[in-house]
């Protein structure tokens, strides 16, 4: 995935005590204006939170949290702005999804509230709401008494995989699952950097990966150690001074295959992602005109592997007889991946094994019957993007035997992710 297609989640805290912007957007009108501003700066959607999870923060009742976030969510949705709800409470998540939130962002991954997975499943089925599953071991502990990992990347990956499986068993569509390694949640600065440098290990789970490094302690500690830094200690470092570092992390995360980044400074991040996208585009083989060899329409998308006409028998469809009898689906997959290293070294490990890609697609199409081929296409795209180094996936799902009364050749849906 390149910076041109990565999702940017703009942070909107409607709280009096969040660690970087608490108290700035506590009234509805100001919060909505900020949400509109984030979108004009390049946000894909706005993440509305009503309770701080910073160390030492005071817990908020579910009623108070709902009173803070729901009027803002309703107002943003009414303006056509995509919204996420940042909460660890199932009741708040449920109300927000019913109000139009397209994402439930739970930093606890459904472990804090035993009802969360069921709520996420109901929202997934009723509204297509996505479930962002974060990793934590509880409210952050500055003493790091719970940061005792042997291999933080492997343990976080395995924990997130288990949490995703739990959500799917509850009824969340696999195509609606996003994972977040939970930077700063019971992880030392060094462990956070390890997670970032091994993002491809997390993407290999097959789930989109969200990175939330914005203004966090790990950046403050790093900046405080620089020669000539404004401050040498995190407590004296203004959080907004970490925005440039956040943007750099966002660009590296895009290059490493992250699905999205969660940031306070959307404008700076959008610029950094544009630089990364231009850099990636310029690194591709070019024609004499200076454009990538494929075509002018493919600038920044890189080389391609195309798999067409993959036939899968599955039980998807709106009608009962379609689910009972099953039918043929045809899958076309076109993935963007830099093939220079593979070609130069004749190295299978530097490309995507199209046999393994075909197996993964077949498995994804066969599981869990759904109504729409749109849902199947989204699921296949998520699987394709889970392969290391895949930057973009164009997936077409065809249904040649669809129950249409009139003569036709084919019906298909194409998604680009």
Q: Which residues belong to the active site? A: 216, 262
Alpha-carbon distance of 198 to 216, in angstroms, equals 19
Closest CA to 179 of 125, 121, 135, 120: 135
Alpha-carbon distance of 107 to 102, in angstroms, equals 16
Edge-first strand order for the sheet with 210-211 is: 177-180, 130-134, 103-106, 83-86, 45-49, 7-13, 260-263, 210-211
The burial class, CB within 10 Å (0-12 / 13-18 / 19+), for 408 is: exposed
- Spatial neighbors of 72 by CB under 8 A, at least 6 apart, are 12, 14, 28, 31, 32, 35, 48
Residue 392 tokens, joined: 């973009």
Residue 121 tokens, joined: 């499943």
Alpha-carbon distance of 275 to 154, in angstroms, equals 31
Name the β-bridge partners of 8. Answer: 261
Q: Is 109 left (phi over 0), alpha (psi -120 to 50) or beta?
A: left
Name the β-bridge partners of 269. Answer: none
The burial class, CB within 10 Å (0-12 / 13-18 / 19+), for 246 is: buried
Name the β-bridge partners of 286. Answer: 292
């Amino acid at each position: 995935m390149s910076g041109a297609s990565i999702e940017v989640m703009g942070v909107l805290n409607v709280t009096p005590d969040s660690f970087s912007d608490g108290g700035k957007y506590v009234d509805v009108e100001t919060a909505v204006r900020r949400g509109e501003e984030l979108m004009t700066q390049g946000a894909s959607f706005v993440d509305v939170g009503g309770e701080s999870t910073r160390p030492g923060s005071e817990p908020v009742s579910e009623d108070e949290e709902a009173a803070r976030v729901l009027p803002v969510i309703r107002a943003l949705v009414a303006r056509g702005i995509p919204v996420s709800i940042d909460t660890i409470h199932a009741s708040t998540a449920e109300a927000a999804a019913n109000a139009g939130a397209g994402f439930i962002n739970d930093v606890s991954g459904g472990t804090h509230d035993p009802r969360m997975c069921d709520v996420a499943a109901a929202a997934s089925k009723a509204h297509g709401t996505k479930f962002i599953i974060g990793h934590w071991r509880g409210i952050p502990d500055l003493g790091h008494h719970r940061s005792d990992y042997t291999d933080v990347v492997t343990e976080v990956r395995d924990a997130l995989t288990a949490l995703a499986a739990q959500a799917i068993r509850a009824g969340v569509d696999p195509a609606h699952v996003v994972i977040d390694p939970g930077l700063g949640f019971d992880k030392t600065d060094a462990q956070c950097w390890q997670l970032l440098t091994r993002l491809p290990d997390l993407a290999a789970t097959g789930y989109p990966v969200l990175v939330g490094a914005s203004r966090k302690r790990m950046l403050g500690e790093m900046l405080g150690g620089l020669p000539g830094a404004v401050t040498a200690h995190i407590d004296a470092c203004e959080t907004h001074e970490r925005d440039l570092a956040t943007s750099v992390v966002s660009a590296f995360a895009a290059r490493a295959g992250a699905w999205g980044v969660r940031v306070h400074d959307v404008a700076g991040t959008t610029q950094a992602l544009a630089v990364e996208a231009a850099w990636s585009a310029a690194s591709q083989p070019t024609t004499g005109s200076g454009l990538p060899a494929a075509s002018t329409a493919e600038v920044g998308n890189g080389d391609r592997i195309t798999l067409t006409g993959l036939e899968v028998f599955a039980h998807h469809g709106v009608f009962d007889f379609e689910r009972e009898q099953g039918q043929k689906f045809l899958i076309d997959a076109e993935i963007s991946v830099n093939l220079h290293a593979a070609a130069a070294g004749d190295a299978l490990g530097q490309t995507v094994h199209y046999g393994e890609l075909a197996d993964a697609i077949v498995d994804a199409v066969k599981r869990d019957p759904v109504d729409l081929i749109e849902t199947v296409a989204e699921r296949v795209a998520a699987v394709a993007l889970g392969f290391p180094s895949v930057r973009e996936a164009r997936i077409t799902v065809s249904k040649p035997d669809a129950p249409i009364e009139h003569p036709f050749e084919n019906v298909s849906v194409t998604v680009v992710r």
